[in-house]
Structure 1
Amino acid sequence: MQIYKVGGAVRDRLLGLPVTDVDWVVVGATTEEMLARGYRPVGADFPVFLHPKTGEEYALARTERKSGRGYGGFTFHASPDVTLEEDLVRRDLTINAIAEDDQHNLTDPYHGQRDLEERILRHVSPAFAEDPLRVLRVARFAARYAGLGFTVAAETLELMRQLSESGELEALTAERSWKEISRALMEDQPQVFIQVLRDCGALNVLMPEVEALFGVPQPEAHHPEIDTGLHTLSVLEQSALHKQPLTVRWACLLHDLGKGLTPEEEWPRHIAHEHTGLKLIKAVNERFKAPKDCQELALLVGQYHTHGHRALELKASTLLELLQSFDVYRRPQRFEEFIVACEMDARGRKGLEQRSYPQADYLRGAANVARGVAVQPLLEKGFKGPELGEALKRERLKALKAYREAR
């Protein structure tokens, strides 16, 4: 029985990066031996165990064979006679197929160290093309390590393209896809994730609504980058540079989907794109079963982001309607996330990344003014039920008019 550290822990140590999760592979052992040593089984499809003290995952060395469609369409074989090299060859990338023993000796049969030095994301074997989830994984690694200069090998990108054209991506479950997408959006350069998916044809399969934005022009006066797709990538890049949460990054990715529906004869203007895009945002939300907070913010940002940009010009009544739409009284955080999504949209324009965005503080101030209107005086005047709601609305409108005039 031999135990090796594998995967990300070895890769990141060699890159000089912090190591968070540690995975282990066990060669020459049986399930019975693992149980006898106190390991707790957790794998439903193949033998994976939790260490009795550390809780880290230990998997028996295994081989796999394609037996159906999608990520789960594999038959696994784990036994004491499976070698370390046989276990490593089934992994996705060479940089993830390096093993390390307890003496820090490396086993690297597929030249992962060379690819780490050359900053290349390269598949281990042709079996890479059997698992459609690997398209998303490689794009996610590209987003994670882009800052270190990593790129996807041409031959790997070609396999990803073949996978994208094969129909296999459609076999991925919403849950598995969302797990990869959400992790990728939280990487340092999530725009690289989208670009790599586009380069291999996967974006058109997974999110045709986003793919449709590329090549669609916008007015150069407001968008020096002109291309709506490039603008979307820039907005996503800004959201990562400013350390925004997943909800904001998801909204940034989807905020302009309506522009993909604008008839060519109306280019570069996109009248009412905020409303035409809502059905597309809803479709993407449902396709990946995005969490409720991500779904809600994406729809609200899609519908109201131009209100955010024009905040200083809005009438007090329109401003109040905006605040009411976000329920700023009970859900202040959601409105704050809307504001920063609008700011990322404003900054995601070529040459305007450092621009100021006074609308942000103006909107925060308006929300505070509306929230500051007291209910108790109205109750003391005898208002109740629907009448109380209308009276409260009138007082908030009056306060917002005063706030607007004071600015």
Structure 2
Amino acid sequence: MRQLIEVKVNSESAKDIMNGYPLLSKEAMETSGVTMAEGSIMHLVNSNGRYIATAYYGLQNKGIGWVLTRKEQERIDTKFFVRKISEAVAKRDSFYEAEDTTAFRVFNGEGDGIGGLTIDFFNGFYMVSWYSEGIYSFREEIYQALSEVVNVRGLYEKLRFNHNGQYLEQDDYVSGEKGEFPLIVLENGMKFAVDLNDGAMTGIFLDQRKVRKALRDHYSKGKTVLNTFSYTGAFSVTAVLGGAIGTTSVDLAKRSLPKTIQQFAVNGIDYEAQDIKVMNVFDYFRYAARHDLKFDVVVLDPPSFARTKKMTFSTAKDYPKLLKDAMKITNDGGIIIASTNNASFNMKKFKTFIDKAYTEANTRYKILEEHQLPEDFTVPDKFPEFNYLKVVFIKVMN
């Protein structure tokens, strides 16, 4: 039997929740003496005991739970999840109908009304990501609801939470047809290889779809392109398909080499004509500077935080330095595509990092275009802080 607990919320947080804010912080609630299990249903009340919303308890890095409904009599059951998933699927009608794109986000957490849960579509297969034990406790109801709303060719899942300090090792297959990987998906007519049963990531970041299209359509023809923190080389593939005369992909992970070769191969691109480096990006910057290598386009899409034996990198602290290093190997009039998925700062703050870097380098610049999350990555109305992706195309003006 699922726990149902009445929890009092402080006045400031009560106001935020009534205005639609979906995330619950530990400081928002008066829980002294109350022991809650993951997945407990909370009836949130104000200081006068008046009902505000119904939420679930689930610990994750953002907070301790998420609002599910503001209707006091609404039950959190399979019917509830059917309604939420149906509404999300209806918003993505144009994606389901598109012939040139077969990979997109179907359900985007708090943006679609259930924080801590995402669902992605890959050519008939669905991948569900769970970000806390709390939401994972609704697994059976949510899978039942998903099967009632859409035709699921095969179902996979990712557990993005840890249990007793450790991430759980598991087979990601859940039900239906077992995929033969790599599975080939389309994105704006480009082919990408994905694997839904190979750890936390699939081989492509779906939130960068519009950025890849912009790179292909407007910034690649006749250019040399450096793709740093390249992962499986998706930006490099995009650049070649856009007419780039050469790409260099740099990533520290050893597996980036075979994965990048695979992405080139599925698009009929001769990988041997492209440069793929398995090395630290900062070491590569020094290597390129020593050898007087310069590029027309440089893609910077680092992880929010990374640690090696030599150094620690944080986008919140070190992005200006990263940009200055990139500038040294960017041709005059060249383009730097600066990207981050760090949710701890907004686009306005990110632009201050950019301005700081170019000011310190005594270099003029022009912002050509900006991107945040694409439309399938729905974010809550009125709360842009959940729009974590920030991408800026910067032209060197010297």
Do these two structures clear the TM 0.5 threshold for a shared fold by scoring above it?
no
Say which structure is richer in strand. 2
Structure having greater relative contact order (Cα 8 Å, sep ≥ 6): 2
**Max radius of gyration: which structure?**
1
TM-score by length of 1: 0.29
TM-score by length of 2: 0.30
Higher helix share: 1
